[in-house]
């Protein structure tokens, strides 16, 4: 190597760090792409879980009552959403399930022969539960906004 010019020796010495820096750039780009895909997949799973609440809630609001089929449909949607959201969302979903359970009880009991006072109490319970369920989308949307926003879609080095 003694007969090589100085600039060629310097170029040879710089090639190894340049290749290492290029490798780091490629690794960072792969990491950013994988992270973006993970965020998008999580967003899609959350959107699907959110959509599964539509049918049971719509049916409750249309009928003003809740039967076992609707209740089980809601429970399946709750199960699918259980690990996709934080405690704030899951607690609200659980609370709404309890409301649907009370509404189901009132619906079942109102089908039987009751005294006037019992019927009035159950009608009040049914109305209260239906009103709470009617607020479902407003409350759930407010709670889910942070989970659906996808703020983390860009790596920190690219964000403004």
Are the C-beta atoms of 93 and 144 separated by less than 8 Å? Answer: no
- pTM here? 0.76
Residues in the chain: 160
Are the C-beta atoms of 100 and 137 separated by less than 8 Å? Answer: no
3-state DSSP of 17-79 = HHHHHHHHHHHHHHHHHHHHHHHHHHHHHHHHHHHCCHHHHHHHHHHCCCCHHHHHHHHHHHH
Low-confidence residues in the chain, pLDDT < 50: 153, 160
Residue 156's φ and ψ, nearest 5 degrees, are -60, -25
pLDDT at 157: 53
Distance (Å) of CA 50 to CA 17, 32, 81: 49, 27, 7
d(CA 66, CA 57): 9
In tens, the pLDDT along 121-151 reads: 999 999 999 999 999 999 999 999 888 887 6
């Amino acid at each position: 190597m003694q007969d090589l010019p100085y600039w060629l020796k310097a170029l040879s010495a710089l090639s190894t760090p340049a290749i290492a820096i290029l490798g780091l750039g490629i690794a960072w780009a792969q990491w950013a792409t994988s992270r973006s895909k993970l965020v998008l997949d999580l967003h899609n799973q959350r959107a699907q879980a959110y959509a599964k609440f539509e049918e049971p809630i719509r049916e409750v609001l249309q009928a003003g009552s809740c039967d076992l089929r609707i209740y089980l449909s809601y429970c399946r949607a709750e199960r699918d959403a259980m690990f996709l959201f934080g405690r704030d969302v899951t607690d609200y979903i659980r609370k709404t399930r309890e409301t649907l359970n009370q509404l189901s009880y009132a619906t079942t009991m109102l089908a039987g022969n009751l005294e006037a006072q019992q019927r009035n109490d159950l009608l009040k319970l049914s109305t209260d539960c239906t009103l709470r369920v009617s607020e479902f989308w407003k409350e759930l949307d407010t709670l889910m906004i942070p989970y659906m926003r996808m703020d983390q879609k860009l790596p920190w080095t690219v964000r403004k």
